[in-house]
Structure formats: C-alpha cells, structure tokens
Amino acid sequence: MAQSMRGAYLPGNSTVELREVAVPEVGHGEVLLRMKASTICGSDIRCIYHEHLGKGPEGYQGLIAGHEPAGQIVKAGPGCRRFQEGDRVIVYHISGCGVCNDCRRGYMISCTSQKYRRAYGWQRDGGMADYLLAEEKDLVALPNELTYADGAQVACGFGTVYEGLQKIGISGDHDVFITGLGPVGLATAALARKMGARRIIGSDIIPKRLEIAQKLELCDIVLASGPSNVSQVLDLTGGLGVERAVDCSANDSARATAIRATRKWGRIVFLGEGGRVEFNPSPDIIHDQKTIYGSWVTSIWLMEELVERLVRWNLHPADLITHRFALDTVSQAYSLMSSGQCGKVAVCFDEELI
C-alpha cells in the first residue's frame, strides 16, 4: 500500500488545496477505507468553502474536507467486532463519544461531548482523499445492490430527509410541497414519492434545478420561486393547501411560503440550515392547528433502515448526481457546487469514476 495520499483542504477563500499527506495508520476499533465516492454538501459551501463561518459543531479545523464518504475497507485495526477487510461501507459523518444520552439514542449528530464529538471533514479528516481513517462504530454496511455513489449520499443528504419525513409522516393522502430543489430538495421528492405521496410540488429560484426535478420526474409540478407561490399552491389544492411541506431552502421567504401553503392540521418540517423566518403565530400556526418540526441529520439506526428501504424501493441516490470529478479536479467540483447550476456533485474513485 502507498505511504502517501492526496487530500483536499478548504482554506476559506473559494479555492481548494490538494496536498500530499501520509496515509493514516489504523488504531484500536478503527478501519482504513479506500475512498470510492465523496459527495459535496451544501453546508460545505455555506460554512467552509467561501469563508470559515462555522462555530462549535460547524467549526472547520483545517482538516481534509468531505463528510459524505463511502468506500471499501482495506485494513481493519485490532478490536473491530463486525467489519473486516473488503467490506463495502458508508460512514455516518459524526463520530460521537458513544456514552452521552444522544449517542445512546443513535444521534451522534447531537453528541454533547465537546472533547470527543468530531465530524468527518470538519474536526477530523474527511472523504476528499484517497484514503479515510474511520471508527468502526460509525460504519453502516453498503449492500451490493447500491453503488458507492448511492451510499455516499445516505448519511447527510438522504438520511437527513428520511428523518424529517418520518417526523411529519407521508402517505397516499398527502400533497407535499418542497421549497428548495437543491440536492436535499431533490432527495425529499425522491423519498416522498417512494413513501406514497399523492402529489409533489416543488419550487426553486434557479431554473436549472426546476429542470432537473422535471427531467428526473421527481416533482409533479414545479414553480419558479416568487411571491405568488402561496396562491399557486392554494389554486392547485382547491384552496386548501398541502398536507405536508418541507423547507430545504433556508430562505426566509420560502420558509414563510411553506408555512402558509400548508392547510389546517398540516405539518411542516425545516431541513435547510441557516437563515431566518418571520411569520404570525396566530393566523399562520395556532388558529390553523399546524405543526412545525425541526430536524437535523438522523440517527445511525434510522440510517441503516434507510439503506434497507433504498434496496426495497430500488431507489438510487446516485441518480441525483449530475457531475462526477476525479480528485485531481476537486477544485472544479466545489466551484460547480457553489454555483447551484447542478444537481449533486461527487468526487469519485476507481469504478465510480464513470
């Protein structure tokens, strides 16, 4: 095995630095992955790529980027109990302490340990490299029916969506309205469809995203984001509004639109990070008996359930990838993702670089 590898770093000025570093050694309970696919998340762009804005859990510490990794184990350290060399795996992108209340629930994203909580690509080296050192407890098995590019999107993208949709519940009785059709919004449409949504309406300000949602047949109706969106949704639903709304935009106006386009007794979940929202509690929420949920990533057990469902539904997250790049051209990958003129962007290796 090589002694050195390449890793991508984000200095915070809208550039990417590719450096040569040593291949890490495995310790107790750790595995070394040959990276196969590493997708780019919107939070990488929002909090690291343009400027280092994050604090606490979103504080980037100048390490190898990439928190949506999937790969194959090439070396397993002493103490590993389940996974071994040759296994195909997805990495849950937060390594928690394992003993706080949230970790024991499986929600390492909410780990309360300032000392031991470390996110891949933020506070420990991530997947934008030839190899990745991971803890065995953070791994989820990747079935042969799914590609590595499918698996890379499970933890942060599709997992985040699956958690949110589980909270609000989706059935064949429901019209679903999605504000923001970036990769998370597209994943919302794909999962809502498989969970039985009657009709899916999506909105975005970027025409390219509307085009992708239509081309992939993820949305039944797409709307250009604007002040008339509430009235448009009401017209489409007989003046009642949708039963379920999902905000993936983190945009002030879009969030308010999601709330007001939801009918009485409806449910809304906010998935998009950052931004603000302004609404009138009594007419917008209280009098119409609406419920707003917040949802942040998912648990590792629900992530495992999602993987099972993806196989059952024959749903492939890789279908959302519009562009694949080799690690040599990782700077182009981040530049494109930051433009918004794309679906999901992936840095791929070996058989996934097609």
Angstrom distance (rounded) from CA 161 to CA 192: 9
pLDDT at 128: 98
Q: Do the domain assignments include residue 284?
A: yes
Which DSSP string do the residues of 25-49 spell out, in sequence order? PP-TTEEEEEEEEEEPPHHHIIIII
Contact 189, 200 (CB under 8 A): yes
In a domain, 305, yes or no: no
Q: What confidence score (pLDDT) does residue 56 get?
A: 80
Q: Which CATH number does the domain housing residue 131 bear?
A: 3.90.180.10
* Contact between 66 and 126 (Cβ < 8 Å): yes
Question: Tens digit of pLDDT for each residue in 111-132?
Answer: 999 999 999 999 999 999 999 9
| Residue-wise pLDDT tens digits, 61-73 | 999 999 999 999 9
Q: How far is CA 81 from CA 85, 106, 135, 139, 301, in A?
A: 12, 18, 11, 12, 17
Pair (12, 96) in one structural domain? yes
- 169 and 113 share a domain? no
Query: Would you state the pLDDT for residue 68?
Result: 98
Q: Tell whether 128 and 205 lie within a shared domain.
A: no
For residue 132, give its domain range: 4-147+316-352
pLDDT confidence band for 58 (50 / 70 / 90): confident
The total number of structural domains in the chain stands at: 2
- Calculate the CA 304 to chain-centre distance: 15
Query: DSSP letter string over 324-351?
Result: EE-GGGHHHHHHHHHHT-SSEEEEE-GG
Give the C-alpha separation, 152 to 328, whole Å: 19
pLDDT at 186 over 90: yes
Are residues 213 and 108 part of one domain?
A: no
Residue 196: its pLDDT value, please? 98
Mean pLDDT along residues 160-189: 98
pLDDT tens digits, 262-303: 999 999 999 999 999 999 999 999 999 999 999 999 999 999
153 domain-assigned: no
Query: Do 91 and 166 reside in the same domain of the chain?
Result: no
Q: Are 11 and 101 within one domain?
A: yes
Beta-bridge partners for 291:
267
Q: What is the pLDDT of residue 273?
A: 92
Query: Exposure of 293 by Cβ count < 10 A (0-12 exposed, 13-18 middle, 19+ buried)?
Result: middle
State the average pLDDT for the chain.
Answer: 97
Considering the domain architecture, whether residues 202 and 246 belong to the same structural domain is answered as yes
What is residue 237's predicted lDDT score, i.e. its pLDDT?
Answer: 98
Q: What average pLDDT score do residues 50-55 get?
A: 89
| Beta pairing class for 175-179 and 88-91 | unpaired
In a domain, 179, yes or no: yes
Residues 22 and 60 in one domain: yes
Residues near 127 by Cβ (< 8 Å), separated by ≥ 6? 35, 38, 64, 66, 67, 68, 69, 70, 71, 91, 120, 121, 152, 347
pTM to 2 decimals?
0.97
Model confidence over 221-271: pLDDT tens digits? 999 999 999 999 999 999 999 999 999 999 999 999 999 999 999 999 999
Give the residue among 70, 64, 102, 62 at the shortest CA–CA distance from 87: 70
pLDDT digits (tens, 9 = 90+) for 82-101: 999 999 999 999 999 999 99
| Residue 1 pLDDT | 81
Residue 336, in any domain of the structure: yes
Same domain for 33 and 107, yes or no, is yes
Share of the chain above pLDDT 70, in %: 100
* CA–CA gap between residue 322 and residue 304 (Å, rounded): 25
DSSP 8-state class, residue 24: P
196: left (phi over 0), alpha (psi -120 to 50) or beta: left
Residue 60, classed as helix, strand or coil, is coil
Sign, Cα dihedral of 256, 262, 266, 272:
negative
Report the Cα–Cα distance between both ends of the chain, in Å, rounded: 24
Kindly state the tokens that stand for 206: 């970027």
pLDDT band at 155 (very low <50, low <70, confident <90, very high): confident
Question: What is the CATH number for 227?
Answer: 3.40.50.720
Is residue 44 located within the same domain as residue 99? yes
pLDDT confidence bin for 321, thresholds 50/70/90: very high
Which tokens is 44 given?
A: 């990488």
Residue 134 predicted with pLDDT over 80:
yes
Query: 60: exposed, middle or buried (C-beta count within 10 Å: 0-12, 13-18, 19+)?
Result: buried
- Please tell me the least confidently modeled range out of 5-14, 55-64, 243-252: 55-64
Indicate if the pLDDT at residue 354 is higher than 80.
no
User: Among residues 54, 47, 59, 173, which one has the least CA distance to residue 117?
Assistant: 59
- Do 131 and 18 lie in one domain? The reply is yes
Token pair recorded at residue 245? 């709304």
Q: Are residues 209 and 253 in the same domain?
A: yes
